Amino acid sequence: MAIVERPTAPLELTTGEPETIRPLGVMTRPQGTTGWKSWLTTVDHKRIGIMYGAAALFFFVLGGFEALLIRLQLAAPGQKLYSADLYNQLFTMHGVTMIFLVVIPLGAAFMNYLMPLQVGARDVAFPRLNAFSYWCFLAGGLLLNTSWFLGGGADGGWFAYAPNTGVTFSPSHGMDFYAIGLQLTGIASLVGAINLVVTVLNMRAPGMTLMKMPVFTWMGFVTQLLLVFALPVISVALFLLTFDRLFNANFFNVSEGADPLLWEHLFWIFGHPEVYILILPAFGVVSEIIPVFSRKPIFGYPFMIFSGIAIGFMGWGVWAHHMFASGMGPLSVAAFAVSTMFIAVPTGVKILNWLATMWGGKLRFTTPMLFAIGLVTMFTIGGLSGVTHAVAPSDTQQTDTYYIVAHFHYVIFGGALMGFLGGLYFWWPKVFGFLLNEKLGKWHFWTILIGFNLTFGPMHILGLQGMPRRMHTYVEGYGFDFWNMVSTIGAFIIAVSMTIFAANVLLSWRAHRRNPVNAGPDPWDARSLEWMVPSPVPSHNFDEVPTVSHLDEFWHRKYAENAEGKVVRVATGAEVAQKGDAENVHLPSPSYWPLVVAAGLPIIGYGLIFNLALAAVGGVIVVLGAFAWGYEPADDPEAHHGHGGHDDGHGDGHGDDDGDGEGELATVGSGPAGTTGEEASDD
Amino acid sequence: MTRRRRLALVLAPLLLFVGACASDAPQSTLDPKGPIARSIDALWDGVFIVAVVVFILVEFGTLYLVIRFRRRADDTDDDLPAQTHGNTRLEILWTLIPAVLLGLVGFFTLVTLFDINRKDDDALAVQVTGQQWWWEFTYDTDGDGEFTDEDVLTANDLVIPAGQDVNLEIGSNDVIHSFWIPALNGKKDAVPGSEHPLRLNADEPGTYVGQCTEYCGLSHGYMRQRVIAMTPDDFDAWLEDQIPEAEMPTDGEAAAGAELFATQCSGCHLARGINDEEFADQGDGTELLVSGNAPDLTHFASRGVFAGGIFNLWVDKDGDDIIEKDEISEEFNRGAVEAWLRNPPAEKPMDAPALPEPGGEKIRGMPDLNLPEEQIDQLVDFLETLE
């Protein structure tokens, strides 16, 4: 039942006169769904997800080059391949790139693509805002990297401790690009987080209670809540830094009475939840993969969900474990040591639940499964070294050494990245319609596993032997030489493995072009709703929004208990899956304005650094763009209906197109009223 | 792979850890040379064993699962395994057991933490000040309970008496640094605007090395510190010798060097007894440098290293490349000092392109003074007299 009768004609105002709204009378609304320009104006969560993934992989190559340059310099003692100044920029940019421009957007790629599908929705709550998130993120990432050409990359380290990041000690513009670039990516993630939180809370399919959502969506949901609360903190810190650097403020000026530890606290109050933001989506990915390739459900779904929530909450109480040597005083150190120790409990529960999922299963070692097992085994190592850091007296020996570098690479690379690589292989056929080559996939996995362990395993030893971080060189006679060389060799093996991945993508795509056999909706015999639609997913997602009665709803439509109580197949995936041929499905309309507003922001950024007049121009673009966006109806009253952009005639209303008892699209804001998942229960 | 091979693969890195207690790992955290570091190391040993046990359980557990439950060739997709959804009792157990285990680890952590943070207020106190890119040490030699310019100032080598606590008060003149001597204790950050305590205690006389461990800019990798622990008698004698002013040299070359020092170097450096007036006239070393402070050179030649601890002031005699107490005052490492004076920024990355004009932008580090070779020779001759 539609709550509000939707008009069939352009908006009728109370004067009774129909009026066509043209944004500023300047641009007609884009309507195309094909061609490269349609990607610039898309508001489709799937396309946005793909763009996040592509950008992340591009930045991964960039960050990888920075890493290789670092490893080349450190391969032997006393080398002078390039200046200490360049080294400092390289390690700073490597860290910032990998965290903010690779792992976060990879998570965003998966969450954007999958969360609406997994909850049975057609898109997110605010589609244009979603597009804005992406373009704003891209603007921030590109702005940050133009620093290389405009006076030097950021050189304060990725956590940018004051006062070293002030103008006196970091005179180049690198740290300005850092502050503004991360401000932009922060806006992107914050806005996206609000979007996904609302989507999960309001747009689930009928019957999908919170405890029937897939683990991936739950982990994504906790991640988005963490983002909502953590990003404002770093935004504030970055504003303080920007005002110090550009406008002579004194937030971190010690001679005016500032305490540098203010930056440390602000940064790490953000920075610690940040690492859970990095890992939880990957935890979600492997929680989807392992059950599929064990052929049994996730072991202990409630514990998996509650441990994720626990990590989300407890993650706020541990930040100063990054500051054990900062002079906080033993009482503070003690408190954070204890809280840090206990956060290992919910994380450990997950490891054991994944292993218990595999127990008693019939394990299929496809490439996604190999990567998932990789996460479980490698994250365990990182988690164990993490527990040793919680032992605060020990940490005063470990902190700022390569032992810490080893820890976080094991959890971020061995954990998050391995998980995401598995996810790429797993969901590739769903997104693109063809599978990646299994043989090359296995080569990719084994070479990266070996290369990764050779690169970062020895760093545990280097750290314990006293090699500090962020050293542009080291000397003979300290026992650092051999393991540094091993580590460098490992780094190049990682480079080889990612080349294999690139080759896999290219060759698999070419093979598919030559012989276009579709992977089908369900190539893996999987469990959740995204596998119940064709591959690639049609723009309208579901022909018919499904009614959900189980966790792993799709699986339960394929398998049921027979008369003897044995679980047997009752249908194939292809039989259960929807055909994707629904017509007259109303979709959110494309728009230019997210791109325009997002393009104005970096102009403000460059203006703040170089010329305030330019900042004013950027400001005008942002404000005007925002107004235009606001006046533009959420749905184009002149939009053609149906998927694929075909002109199949004007629809007969935006109401209950498919007869399942609810309106199509929950868009909040102006325009025809939308209905939400809440109302769509029993009609 | 046989079980034994797998075990060896696991133990090999363990053995390497143990093997790190070699003399060619002078900055090792696993080779404590004093009671505080030993206390930390003991805690580490216990926790590390727990970590290894968990590692073996999880990793070998995974290996076992992967082998035992792999899909067999004759399995069809319709042969489903038991669709176990969970086991609440088991899950509660494996939530509680790690929690209890971690609680135990936490208990011992707190015991050690409060133990190493206690302070003996009667112990010798030394002020440690970090600045880009060297460490200064101040001893309260005038006994007034304060650390001022009236006290003894040295650099790079922190000399302490062995076998007893020494209380460091650590601060900074510019950005955050971190003071660390792994063989003796964990590290403590040097934060501008505050003073942080750190206790050191070396069992035996010897030389213990460390590095700045908080990223502090260009030459963070070239900012080193050392502790030279001496017998209490030797320490007292050393401190006595640090108090007097330097003697104005009478020999021609060194005397010429002393004059050069007074005219060229007084903007930043002080050698008491040589250039007190010039130093005071030029602002007590605060005018040219951002940190407002350059190393006091009064007893320069009593130290083992210079330039922020990266160059040996004396020639190493026993092959370990560490200048110990008995190597100081043996064979002067003239070449290194000359190279430094010739062009300091070429030897160590610094932000000191030139000597600033009066009222100009301050620099960070020592600039190239474009000294002719003859002047460099004289200066080196002079510096060698500053025992």
Q: Is the pLDDT of residue B222 over 90?
A: yes
- Spatial neighbors of A522 by CB under 8 A, at least 6 apart, are A531, A532, A554, A572, A573, A574, A576, A577
* Interface touch B29/A385, C-beta < 8 Å: no
Please, are residues A353 and A303 in contact by the beta-carbon 8 Å criterion? yes
Q: SS3 string of A578-616? A: CCCCCCCCCCCCCCCHHHHHHHHHHHHHHHHHHCHHHHH
Q: Is the pLDDT of residue A670 over 80?
A: no
Token representation of residue B16: 């390497």
Q: Is the pLDDT of residue A231 over 50?
A: yes
Q: Is the pLDDT of residue A143 over 90?
A: yes
Q: How confident is the model at residue B387 (pLDDT cuts 50, 70, 90)?
A: very high
Residue (of A679, A678, A667, A675) closest to A124 by Cα position? A667
Q: Can you give the pLDDT at residue B4? A: 55
Please state whether beta strands B166-172 and B124-131 pair in parallel, antiparallel, or not at all (unpaired): parallel
Question: SS3 for A97?
Answer: helix
Q: Can you give the pLDDT at residue B16? A: 55
Please, are residues B327 and B317 in contact by the beta-carbon 8 Å criterion? yes
Q: Can you give the pLDDT at residue A436? A: 98
Please, are residues A183 and A140 in contact by the beta-carbon 8 Å criterion? yes
Q: Can you give the pLDDT at residue B320? A: 87
Partners of residue A561 on adjacent β-strands? A567
Give the lowest-confidence range in A122-136, A291-305, A659-673. Answer: A659-673
Q: How confident is the model at residue A663 (pLDDT cuts 50, 70, 90)?
A: very low
Q: Can you give the pLDDT at residue A498? A: 98
Mean pLDDT of A453-459: 98
Q: SS3 string of A186-225? A: HHHHHHHHHHHHHHHHHCCCCCCCHHHCCHHHHHHHHHHH
DSSP B245: P
* Interface touch B186/A301, C-beta < 8 Å: no
Mean pLDDT of B81-97: 95
Q: Can you give the pLDDT at residue A652? A: 39
- Can you tell me the distance from the alpha carbon of A551 to that of A216, in angstroms, rounded to the nearest whole number? 12
**Amino acid, single-letter form, for residue A98:** M
Cis peptide before A302 (omega within 30 of 0): no
Outline where DSSP puts E strands in chain B.
124-131, 134-139, 152-155, 157-161, 166-172, 177-179, 188-190, 196-200, 206-211, 224-230, 305-306, 311-312
User: Mean pLDDT in chain B?
Assistant: 92
Token representation of residue A570: 């009752």
Q: How confident is the model at residue B94 (pLDDT cuts 50, 70, 90)?
A: very high
Q: Can you give the pLDDT at residue A647? A: 40
**Amino acid, single-letter form, for residue B340:** W
Same domain, B114 and B141: no
Mean pLDDT of B58-80: 91
Mean pLDDT of A630-634: 87
Which of A396, A459, A472, A522 has the most B C-beta neighbours within 10 Å, making it the best mutation to test the interface with B?
A396
Q: What is the CA radius of gyration of chain A?
A: 26
Residues in chain B within 8 Å Cβ distance of A85: 218, 349
Nearest Cβ partner for A391 among B105, B193, B290: B105
Residues in chain A within 8 Å Cβ distance of B182: 397, 466
Q: B146 lies in which domain range? A: 124-232
Give the lowest-confidence range in A276-285, A645-654, B182-191. Answer: A645-654
Q: Is the pLDDT of residue A642 over 60?
A: no
User: Mean pLDDT in chain A?
Assistant: 91
Q: Is the pLDDT of residue A45 over 60?
A: yes
The separation between CA A12 and the C-alpha centre of its own chain, rounded to angstroms, equals 41
Residues in chain B within 8 Å Cβ distance of A338: 106, 109-110
Same domain, B196 and B293: no
Q: Is the pLDDT of residue A669 over 90?
A: no
What's the pLDDT tens digit per position in A410-439? 999 999 999 999 999 999 999 999 999 999
The number of folded domains in chain B is 3
CATH of the domain at B176: 2.60.40.420
Mean pLDDT of A654-672: 40
Same domain, B259 and B372: yes
Q: Is the pLDDT of residue A665 over 80?
A: no
Q: Can you give the pLDDT at residue A558? A: 96
Token representation of residue A507: 């060759």
Question: SS3 for B118?
Answer: coil
pTM: 0.91
B188 CB near a chain A CB, below 8 Å?
yes
Residues written for chain A: 683
Q: How confident is the model at residue A6 (pLDDT cuts 50, 70, 90)?
A: low
B82 CB near a chain A CB, below 8 Å?
yes
Same domain, B297 and B380: yes
Same domain, B261 and B334: yes
Same domain, B112 and B36: yes
Same domain, B147 and B268: no
Nearest Cβ partner for A525 among B28, B70, B77: B77
- Can you tell me the distance from the alpha carbon of A180 to that of A242, in angstroms, rounded to the nearest whole number? 8
Please, are residues A143 and A602 in contact by the beta-carbon 8 Å criterion? yes
Question: SS3 for B232?
Answer: helix
**Is B11 part of a structural domain of the chain?**
no
DSSP B271: -
**Is B368 part of a structural domain of the chain?**
yes
- Can you tell me the distance from the alpha carbon of A227 to that of A141, in angstroms, rounded to the nearest whole number? 18
CATH of the domain at B315: 1.10.760
Higher pLDDT among residues A5 and A586, named by residue: A586
Q: How confident is the model at residue A657 (pLDDT cuts 50, 70, 90)?
A: very low
Same domain, B112 and B128: no
Same domain, B353 and B304: yes
Please, are residues A288 and A528 in contact by the beta-carbon 8 Å criterion? yes
**Is B48 part of a structural domain of the chain?**
yes
Same domain, B140 and B111: no
Q: Is the pLDDT of residue A673 over 50?
A: no
What's the pLDDT tens digit per position in B70-88? 999 888 877 899 999 999 9
Q: Is the pLDDT of residue A317 over 60?
A: yes
Question: SS3 for B177?
Answer: strand
- Can you tell me the distance from the alpha carbon of A361 to that of A284, in angstroms, rounded to the nearest whole number? 19
Q: Can you give the pLDDT at residue A20? A: 53
ipTM value, please give it: 0.94
Give the lowest-confidence range in A5-9, A417-421, A609-613, B300-304. Answer: A5-9
B176 CB near a chain A CB, below 8 Å?
yes
Q: What is the CA radius of gyration of chain B?
A: 27
* Interface touch A394/B116, C-beta < 8 Å: no
**Is B77 part of a structural domain of the chain?**
no
Q: How far is the first Cα of chain B from the last one, in angstroms, to the nearest whole number?
A: 64
Q: Can you give the pLDDT at residue A5? A: 52
**Is B240 part of a structural domain of the chain?**
no
Q: How confident is the model at residue A635 (pLDDT cuts 50, 70, 90)?
A: confident
Q: Can you give the pLDDT at residue A658? A: 43
Which of residues B62, B94, B118 is at a domain's end? B118
Q: Can you give the pLDDT at residue A33? A: 76
* Cα-based distances in Å from A78 to A81, A456, B167, B181, B345: 10, 21, 34, 22, 16
B114 CB near a chain A CB, below 8 Å?
yes
Which of residues B93, B118, B143 is at a domain's end? B118
Domains, chain A, ordered by start: 1-34+585-683 (no CATH), 40-514 (1.20.210.10), 529-576 (no CATH)
Q: How confident is the model at residue B143 (pLDDT cuts 50, 70, 90)?
A: confident
**Is B44 part of a structural domain of the chain?**
yes
Q: Is the pLDDT of residue A119 over 90?
A: yes
B357 class by beta-carbon count within 10 Å (0-12 exposed, 13-18 middle, 19+ buried)? exposed
* Interface touch B62/A390, C-beta < 8 Å: no
* Cα-based distances in Å from A332 to A22, A424, B108: 59, 42, 17
Q: Can you give the pLDDT at residue B141? A: 87
Q: Can you give the pLDDT at residue A10? A: 54
B2 CB near a chain A CB, below 8 Å?
no
* Interface touch A473/B98, C-beta < 8 Å: no
**Is B80 part of a structural domain of the chain?**
no
Same domain, B291 and B192: no
Give the lowest-confidence range in A387-396, A398-407, A637-646. Answer: A637-646
Q: Is the pLDDT of residue A189 over 60?
A: yes
Please, are residues A66 and A93 in contact by the beta-carbon 8 Å criterion? yes
Nearest CA in chain B to A470: B215
Which of B49, B79, B83 has the most A C-beta neighbours within 10 Å, making it the best mutation to test the interface with A?
B83
* Interface touch A363/B48, C-beta < 8 Å: no
Q: Can you give the pLDDT at residue A412? A: 98
- Spatial neighbors of A443 by CB under 8 A, at least 6 apart, are A497, A500
Same domain, B258 and B332: yes
Residue B299 C-alpha, separation from nearest chain A C-alpha, in angstroms: 27
Q: Is the pLDDT of residue A256 over 90?
A: yes
Ramachandran region, residue B156 (left: φ > 0; alpha: ψ -120 to 50; beta: rest) = left
Cβ–Cβ contacts within 10 Å for residue A200, how many? 25
CATH of the domain at B38: 1.10.287.90
Partners of residue B155 on adjacent β-strands? B136
Residues in chain B within 8 Å Cβ distance of A397: 29, 37, 40, 44, 182, 186-187
Q: Is the pLDDT of residue A654 over 80?
A: no
* Cα-based distances in Å from A634 to A201, A639, A656: 20, 11, 18
Token representation of residue A547: 């009614």
Q: What percent of chain A has pLDDT over 70?
A: 89
Q: How confident is the model at residue A653 (pLDDT cuts 50, 70, 90)?
A: very low
Cβ–Cβ contacts within 10 Å for residue A565, how many? 6
Mean pLDDT of A52-75: 98
**Is B257 part of a structural domain of the chain?**
yes
What's the pLDDT tens digit per position in B322-366? 999 999 998 999 999 999 999 999 999 999 999 998 888 999 999
